[in-house]
Amino acid sequence: MVCAVVVVGEPATQTRITADKNKYTPAQDVKIGQEAAAEFKKQLPMLDDGRVDEWVEDVGRQLVAGIPAEFAHREFRYTFDVVNQKEINAFALPGGPMFLNRGMIEAAKTEAEVAGVMAHEISHVALRHGTAQATKGEKFQIGAILGQVAGAVIGGTAGSIIAQGSQFGLGTYFLKFGREAETQADLLGAQIMARAGYDPRQMANMFKTIEAEGGSRGPEFLSSHPNPGNRYNAINKEAASLKVQGNADTGDFQTVRQRLSGMAPALTAEQIAANQKKSGGTSTVSRRPVNVELPSAQERTYRPGSFLRITVPSNWQQTGGEVLTYAPEGGFYSDGGGGTSFTHGLQVGVAQGGSGNLQRDTDALIQGFAKSNPNLRSAGSRRESLGGRTGLTTFLSNVSDATREQEGIAVSTTYLKNGNVLFLVGVSPRDESEDYEAAFRRIRQNMQITD
Ligand SMILES: [Zn+2]
């Protein structure tokens, strides 16, 4: 007799995941994430409830222990905070800081469902999707982003980009992923859950819950974590190849839920934006300082880095940070809402270069500025040397977020030897542009670059 051949499906094996190319170091991920997290903590209403935080940290710690060795970066520090916000959402920043909305915990049916979202977020961090995305050049260069996080927003924008209502400029920069990254985060997330002792199918369930919430609550998460297609089945298929190791459930989920239900309701995104506005995060009131002095004819030379010598009007002060600012008194100031206003003067920074084509790299830089300055309009550009090097100066108009008045901007760029882009951004009110442009031109001609 002939033995019947039993055809079984091909044996399920766990998906092998490879991290994308990344030209940034893990230490850079950490730096970006830490700076952004500090801003988010200032701008968002943190729940700050010891008991709830402790539980989220317990769950998070177990998941982090489940990260496969190849994706466990020594430098990364995973932290977990709960935001007192109603909309279902969660996000994690490069290098490890994670923020979970209270609405996410309230919408979940089990601890493992919350763990599912957290495992997904941890996977984005471990796979370094934020900086991998920047490496691909899909998004804007890191140097300028760092500058923006530091509060030195180019183009006269009041307040840090994060302070701008619900725009969360940086958030959308690092927290919006493509479908390929989503697939990876789903699969690695499932693997991390199983290794940590949670059933990965619960992640699939949570995504179903999020999609079902719809309305004003669901889409926020889904817009930054788009469904790569067939998400639910793909996660369950991966889950079938995984063995859940032990049981990580803390048994505290119900206690946490009860505690939350005893508190005043979480704030909505609109309420949070309104509060930020009240505290000066976003200004609609003209706060233009009076009597900002015109550029002095006398000059003063600074040597801010090893490779730069810059001569500016003597009544401009240098302010440090990732992006240097040279401004007269009143032209660059703290707006009281945790941000800064920049209406008169010059900023100097370095952006990660890439294309080798100065026009293209400059366009990308300006597109980055436009993200936090929606009224930025180009008025043409011209070849102009910068410190004796081939350079490009682009003139733009903008509406100052601080004054609501028209301002003129000149963005000048040139390459450093390492391929990065040195940029100068001159800003002044439209009606003072002539005086300022003359000063900017002198600076461009006289600066010395010795990299
Ligand atoms: Zn995602």
CA of 73 to the centre of ligand 1 (A): 19
CA of 229 to the centre of ligand 1 (A): 13
CA of 275 to the centre of ligand 1 (A): 28
Residue 134 phi, psi (nearest 5): -65, -35
- What the block records as the tokens of 125 is 């961090």
Q: For the residues 152-172, what does the mean pLDDT come to? A: 30
CA of 284 to the centre of ligand 1 (A): 34
pLDDT(336) > 60 = no
Higher pLDDT among residues 442 and 432, named by residue: 442
pLDDT(167) > 70 = no
Give residue-wise pLDDT tens across range 170-195.
Answer: 444 566 778 889 999 999 999 999 99
Task: Give the amino acid at 118.
Answer: M
CA of 48 to the centre of ligand 1 (A): 25
CA of 178 to the centre of ligand 1 (A): 8
CA of 180 to the centre of ligand 1 (A): 10
| Residue 323: per-residue pLDDT | 66
* 198-to-113, 191, 218 alpha-carbon distances in Å: 9, 10, 23
| Residue 69: per-residue pLDDT | 95
Residues 153-188, buried b or exposed e (16+ Cβ, 10 A)?
bbbbbbbbbbbbbebbbbbebbbbbeeebbbbbbbb
| Residue 221: per-residue pLDDT | 79
Q: For the residues 155-184, what does the mean pLDDT come to? A: 51
Q: How far apart are CA 293 and CA 316, in angstroms?
A: 9
Average pLDDT, rounded, for the chain: 80
Give residue-wise pLDDT tens across range 268-279.
Answer: 888 887 777 676
CA of 22 to the centre of ligand 1 (A): 18
Helix/strand/coil percent split, the chain, to 5:
40, 20, 40
Please say whether the beta carbons of 425 and 393 come within 8 A: no
Which of 1-15, 246-260, 370-384 has the least mean pLDDT?
A: 1-15
pLDDT(311) > 80 = yes
Q: How far apart are CA 201 and CA 196, in angstroms?
A: 14
Which pLDDT band holds residue 21 (cuts at 50, 70, 90)? confident
Higher pLDDT among residues 201 and 88, named by residue: 201
Higher pLDDT among residues 226 and 299, named by residue: 299
CA of 211 to the centre of ligand 1 (A): 14
Which residues lie below 8 Å from residue 312, measured CB to CB, with a gap of 6+? 299, 300, 301, 302, 318, 326, 346, 439, 443
CA of 224 to the centre of ligand 1 (A): 7
| Residue 262: per-residue pLDDT | 95
Name the residue with tokens 């725009």: 167
- What the block records as the tokens of 210 is 């999020």
Name the residue with tokens 């222990």: 65
The rounded Cα 62 to chain-centroid distance in angstroms is 26
Which pLDDT band holds residue 340 (cuts at 50, 70, 90)? low
Rg of the chain over all Cα atoms, to the nearest angstrom: 25
CA of 39 to the centre of ligand 1 (A): 21
In the chain, pLDDT over 70 holds for what percent of residues? 80
CA of 16 to the centre of ligand 1 (A): 18
Q: Which residues pair with 386 in a beta bridge?
A: 389
| Residue 147: per-residue pLDDT | 39
pLDDT(212) > 70 = yes
- What the block records as the tokens of 297 is 């004819």
* 195-to-95, 243, 248 alpha-carbon distances in Å: 21, 8, 10
pLDDT(286) > 70 = no
Burial of 277 (0-12, 13-18, 19+ CB in 10 A): middle
At 103, which helix (H) or strand (E)? Answer: helix 102-107
The rounded Cα 306 to chain-centroid distance in angstroms is 29
CA of 19 to the centre of ligand 1 (A): 15
CA of 218 to the centre of ligand 1 (A): 14
Q: Which residues pair with 79 in a beta bridge?
A: 97
Q: For the residues 111-125, what does the mean pLDDT come to? A: 97
Which pLDDT band holds residue 320 (cuts at 50, 70, 90)? low
CA of 123 to the centre of ligand 1 (A): 8
CA of 151 to the centre of ligand 1 (A): 27
At 367, which helix (H) or strand (E)? Answer: helix 358-372
Which of 346, 318, 322, 341 lies closest to 330 in space, CA to CA? 341
CA of 221 to the centre of ligand 1 (A): 8
CA of 115 to the centre of ligand 1 (A): 14
| Residue 122: per-residue pLDDT | 97
CA of 235 to the centre of ligand 1 (A): 13
Task: Spell out the alpha helix ranges (H) of 22-156.
Answer: 26-43, 50-65, 102-107, 111-126, 129-135, 142-149
pLDDT(448) > 50 = yes
Which of 159-173, 303-317, 321-335 has the least mean pLDDT?
A: 159-173
Which of 292, 169, 177 lies closest to 225 in space, CA to CA? 177
Higher pLDDT among residues 303 and 51, named by residue: 51
- What DSSP character marks residue 69? G
pLDDT(1) > 80 = no
Q: How far apart are CA 438 and CA 264, in angstroms?
A: 57
Which residues lie below 8 Å from residue 207, measured CB to CB, with a gap of 6+? 116, 227, 231, 232, 235
| Residue 89: per-residue pLDDT | 86
* SS3 (DSSP) at 169: helix
CA of 361 to the centre of ligand 1 (A): 28
CA of 240 to the centre of ligand 1 (A): 21
CA of 363 to the centre of ligand 1 (A): 28
pLDDT(2) > 80 = no
CA of 352 to the centre of ligand 1 (A): 25
CA of 159 to the centre of ligand 1 (A): 28
Protein residues placing their CB within 5 Å of the ion ligand 1: 177, 182, 185, 225
Task: Spell out the alpha helix ranges (H) of 216-320.
Answer: 219-224, 231-240, 253-261, 269-278
CA of 350 to the centre of ligand 1 (A): 30
Higher pLDDT among residues 340 and 448, named by residue: 448
CA of 112 to the centre of ligand 1 (A): 17
Please say whether the beta carbons of 337 and 280 come within 8 A: yes
CA of 410 to the centre of ligand 1 (A): 37
Q: Is the dihedral of CA 222, 223, 227, 228 positive or negative?
A: negative
